[in-house]
Amino acid sequence: MKPIRIALTKGRLENKTVELLERLGYDCTNARKKGRKLIMPIGNGEIEVVLAKAADVVTYVESGVCDMGVVGKDTIMEKGGTFYEVADLGFGKCRFAVATLKEKDLYEGYRTLTIASKYVNVAKNYFEQKNMDVDVVKIEGSVELAPVLGLADAIVDIVETGTTLKENGLVVKEEVCPVSARLIVNIASMKLRKKEIEELIDKIEKDIKKRAKEA
């Protein structure tokens, strides 16, 4: 029987997912000593992990070349896609927030705000829900620069500790929503490999509940 193929977001989410699989009893030696390999078997070969960038995890799962994936809610919100989001894995926690210069009153006067963000769709959707017209400027690098340089009135970005904001004279003005790692499943895989996938999801959910009790 072919292995369940799981796409993992490279970096911290990858490491946390490997820890999760080890807690479930899978031998993850191949993932721990991967070198430059991007595809590797886990356990006795019943699982195969694929390492990818976050946006590509969604693409691989949506297209069906991977059965499951682990990706941040931020990527899901920004990229969208057609798949099942089956579990909040409880790690990779941070938040989307609106931030601007400490002294700035964001809603002073009646004008169209300029918002800088790597997450254009998240920013647009947030302000649309507030019935506000905004111009969103896409920034690929350090988005904190935009208000400092006068390019934008505020930013929408991922905030973990807030240290980077503080060191650049910015403060969080509004919380948008919490973010964490999510488990996603291809729609066809859920139907065709229902028993195997549901068994794995059940193991993962039991681990989530156990860790939540211990916290």
Domains belonging to the chain, first-starting first, are: 4-92+180-214 (3.40.190.10), 94-178 (3.40.190.10)
Is the Cβ–Cβ distance between 160 and 94 less than 8 Å?
Answer: yes
Predicted local distance difference test score (pLDDT) of residue 152: 96
d(CA 72, CA 69): 10
Can you tell me the mean pLDDT for 136-148?
96
| pTM reported for the whole predicted model | 0.91
- Would you tell me how many other CB atoms lie within 10 Å of the CB of residue 158? 17
Could you tell me the pLDDT band of residue 212, with boundaries at 50, 70 and 90?
A: confident
CA 174 to chain centre: 20
d(CA 215, CA 201): 21
